[in-house]
Structure 1
Amino acid sequence: MQRILSRGEIESLDHTAIPRFGLPVRATVFADRAARLRHLAQDNPASAYLLLMAKLVDAQQRVLSGFSAPEAPAERLSLAQAHGMPPMQAIGWQRDPAWRGMLVAMLDHVAGAGVPEPAAKVCAQLKRLAHEDSAALETMADAVLAERDGEVDSAMAPFVMAALQVYWTDLAGRFDERQLPVVSPFGVCPVCASLPVASVVRIGGQRDGCRYLCCSLCSTQWHLVRVTCSHCEQTEGIAYHSIEGGPEGIKAESCDHCHTYRKIFYHDKDQYFEAVADDLATLPLDVLMGEEGYLRASANPLLWQHP
C-alpha cells in the first residue's frame, strides 16, 4: 500500500531529496540576464528602459570577471551556522571600498555613445558623488540595501544596486553552500538575507517541478514549497493571476492573508525566463495586481519608484 506523506514529511524530504540552493554561475549570471532583457525589449512599451538596463547588466558581467571581494571571516560563518542566520547579511556588512570603483567602471560603460541624455546625466552625477563624497554614496547604498525608498534617489538607485549586486554575487558564487545553516529565516535569501524578486518553477533533474525564490541581490536561488506565500508562509488564500492573452507561464502569486504578491515564472513554458529581467518586463501585471488591491512584496532591483 502506498503511504501518503503529510505536509511536514514532504518539507523534511525537501531538505535532502531536493537541492536546497542554486548559487550563481559567475561566468554567465549577468550575461544571461542582459540577453534576456534585449529579447524582452522587442515590441515592449518599456523597450528603451529595458535596453538601458541591458547595457548596465553587460557592465555588471564585465566588472564581475575581474573583481574579488574579501571573503567572510571564518568566525562570522561559524556564528551564522550556530544561530541559523544567513552568513553574508547585506545590511550591516562592512563593504570593501572597491565596490565604489566598480560602480564608476560600470557608469563609464553605460554612459557611452547612444545612451539617453537623462541617463548620461545620472551617470555623471553618480561619478561625481563617488569621487567627491564617498560617505554620501555609502549612505545611499545602505538605504538601497534596506529598501528605504524615502532615502533613495530613484534614478540613481538602479546603478548603485547594480554595483552591490556584483559585490554580493561575487561572494555568493565563491561560497561553499555546505557552510550554510540547515535552517534559515523564512522569506529571505539564505546567503545575504535580501528579499526575493520573484520565483521560478524549474525543469529537469532533481529540481524538476520545484519552485525556487530568486534573490534580488546575490542571484542565489532557494527552494520553497509551491502554493506557499513567499512573504508570510501561509498556504491558504493563495491565488494566481495573469494577463488575458499574455505570455504563458507568467503569473502573479497573491496571498489573501497578507495581501501581497510576487511573480512566478514556469520554465516548462519558457526555459529562458529570468526572474529579474522578466519581472521588469511585465509591468502590466503589476498594474493589474494593484487594481485588485495587492501590494508587491518586494521591489525589482533595477526599477525604483519615486516615494
Structure 2
Amino acid sequence: MQRILERGEIESLDHTNIPRFRIPVRASVFTDRAARLRQLAQDHPASAYLSLMAQLVDAQHQALGHCKAPPATEEQVSRAQAHGMPPLQAIGWSRSPQWRDILRALVDHIGEQAQVPEQAKAVAASLRERLESDPDAIETQADAILAERDAEVDGATAPFIMAALQVYWTSLAIDFDISKMPVVNPFGVCPLCGSLPVSSVVRVGGPGDGCRYLCCSLCSTEWHLVRVTCSHCEDTKTVAFHSVEGGPEGIKAESCDNCHSYRKIFYQEKDYNVDPVADDLASLTLDMLMGEEGYSRASGNPLLWQGPES
C-alpha cells in the first residue's frame, strides 16, 4: 500500500522532482473513464445517467483515435511562453470545423444504441439536424460552454457539445510538445488550455506518489498543486475537508472559507480506479451536503449542465 504524504512532508520536497503535468494517454483516457462510469452506475440512484454518459465516452474514445486537431502555431507558443499563458487557450481559439465532425460522430453513436433512453436519442437527433441546418448556432453554443456563460447554455445539449470539445482539446494536449510549456502559468486554470479543473486526485505510484493533481475539465491534462491549498483562491489557512457520513473514504470536498467555494478531492490510495470526471459525477450527494453548508462549487462537471435557472 502506498503512503499518502502529509502537508508538511510535501512542502519539504524538492518540487523540481515532482512532475508538473500528467498528459492524457490517447489509448486509455476515455476507455478508462467509460469503464469507471459503468462500475459506478451499478446500484447507483443515477444509474441511467451514468450509463448514458458511459455510452457517450465510448464514442469519445472512438473519435479520439481518428482526431488530429491542427496544433498551436509557433507564434501562439512563443506568445504563451513570453506571457506565461496557456498555449492552447480554449477561449478565443480558432477551432477547425473538424470538431463538428466529432460532434456528429458522437450523436450518431448515441442514436444507434439500443439501450439509450428515447429522450437522449431525441436530443442527439436534434443536434444532428442543427449541425446541418445551423452550424453557426452550434459554434455559438460551443463558445458559451467554453466561456462558462451559463445563462446562454442549453443544459440538454451541452454534455454532447462539451464531449466533442473534450475530444478536440484532448487530442491537442496529447500532441503538444510539453517541453515548450511556459515556465510559469496562471493559478487555478489548466496550464495547457486555460480551462477550470473539475476536481483533483491524490495519485499513487511513480515520482508523483502522494501528490495532488488538478484535472482539466476540457483537455484531460492534470497539473500539480500542493495539498491543503484552495484550488480556487490559493488560500491555505481556512481549508477544510468534508465527506458523507458512511460514504466512501476516498471522496472528500475541499472547502475554503476565504472564497466559500469547494472542489472534490479523490484519493487513489483508497480506490485505484478513480476518475476525476466520473467519480465527481457519481458523488452528487456530497454536492448537496456542501450546498447545505453554504459552499458553492468552484466549477462544474463537463458531463452535467443545468443551464440557466428558470
TM over 0.5: yes
C-alpha displacement of 1:158: 0.2
The CA deviation string for residues 49-103 of structure 1, in whole angstroms up to 9 with x for no partner, is 0000000000000011011000110111011011100000000000000110110
Please give the alpha-carbon distance, in whole angstroms, between the structure 2 residues aligned to 1:128 and 1:94: 24
Cα displacement string for residues 139-164 of structure 1 (whole angstroms, at most 9, x for unaligned residues): 00000001111101100000000000
Whether the 8 Å contact between 1:249 and 1:270 is mirrored in structure 2 is yes
In the alignment, the residues of structure 1 paired with residue 217 and residue 118 of structure 2 have an alpha-carbon distance, to the nearest angstrom, of: 27
Tell whether 2:233 aligns with 1:229: no
Aligned-pair CA distance for 1:306? 3.3
Deviations along 1:84-140, one digit per CA (max 9) or x if unpaired, are 000000000000001101101111111122211110110011111111111110000
Query: Counterpart amino acid of 1:177?
Result: I
CA spacing shift, 1:185–1:13, aligned 2, 3 Å: farther
Is 2:41 aligned against 1:19? no
In the alignment, which residue of structure 1 is the partner of 2:98? 98
Q: Contact 2:152–2:307 (CA<8 Å) still a contact in 1?
A: no
The question of 1:68 aligning with 2:68 is answered yes
Q: How has the CA–CA distance of structure 1 residues 285 and 14 changed in structure 2, closer, same or farther, with 3 Å as cutoff?
A: farther
- In angstroms, what is the RMSD of aligned CA positions? 1.5
Distance 1:108 1:140, change over 3 A: same
* 2:147 is the alignment partner of 1:146: yes
Equivalent-residue separation in structure 1 for 2:90 and 2:58 (angstroms): 23
Name the SS for the 1:111 alignment partner.
Answer: helix
* Separation in structure 1 between the aligned mates of residue 124 and residue 87 of structure 2, nearest angstrom: 32
Alpha-carbon distance between aligned partners in 1 of 2:221 and 2:202, rounded to the nearest angstrom:
15
2:137, 2:16 → 1: CA distance?
45
Kept after mapping to 1: 8 A contact 2:230/2:256: yes
Measure, in 1, the Cα distance between the counterparts of 2:13 and 2:168: 33
- Distance (Å, rounded) in 2 between the aligned partners of 1:267 and 1:14: 22
Query: How many Å separate the matches in 2 of 1:13 and 1:248?
Result: 26
Which amino acid in the other structure matches residue 256 of structure 1? D
Match of 2:126 in 1: 125
- Is the 1:102–1:163 Cα contact (8 Å) retained in structure 2? yes
User: Aligned with 1:265: secondary structure?
Assistant: strand
C-alpha contact 1:14 1:20 (8 A) present in aligned 2: no
Which residue of structure 1 lines up, in the alignment, with residue 272 of structure 2? 271
Read off the aligned partner of 1:152 and give its amino acid letter: V
Return the offset for 1:12: 9.7
Aligned to 1:36: 36
* Alignment-derived partner of residue 249 in structure 1: 250
Alignment correspondent of 1:107: 107
Whole-angstrom CA distance in 2 between matches of 1:81 and 1:271:
35
Residue of structure 2 in register with 1:199 after alignment = 200
SS at match of 2:200: strand
Q: Are the equivalent residues in 1 in contact too, given 2:202–2:213 (CA < 8 A)?
A: yes
Q: Distance between the aligned counterparts of 1:80 and 1:20, measured in 2?
A: 17
Distance between the aligned counterparts of 1:134 and 1:267, measured in 2?
A: 41
Conserved? CA contact 1:154–1:305, under 8 Å: yes
Could you list the per-position Cα deviations for residues 203-245 of structure 1 after superposition, in whole angstroms to 9, with x for gaps in the alignment? 1121111000000000000000000000000001100000001
Letter in 1 for 2:84: G
Name the SS for the 2:78 alignment partner.
helix
CA–CA distance in structure 1, aligned partners of residues 42 and 182 of structure 2: 42
Paired residue type of 2:98:
A
Q: 1:86 matched to which residue of 2? A: 86
* TM-score (normalised: structure 1): 0.96
3-state DSSP of counterpart to 2:214: strand
For 1:268-299, what per-residue CA distance to the aligned partner results, in whole angstroms no more than 9, with x for missing partners?
Answer: 11111100000000000000000000000000
Aligned to 2:51: 51
What is the SS of the residue equivalent to 2:143?
A: helix
Letter in 1 for 2:133: E
Separation in 2, partners of 1:151, 1:12: 45
Alignment partners' CA distance in 1, 2:152 and 2:79: 31
Give the Cα–Cα distance (whole angstroms) in 2 for the partners of residues 124 and 213 of structure 1. Answer: 34
What code does the residue aligned with 2:91 have?
A: I
> Identity, % of aligned pairs?
70
The corresponding residue for 2:4 is none
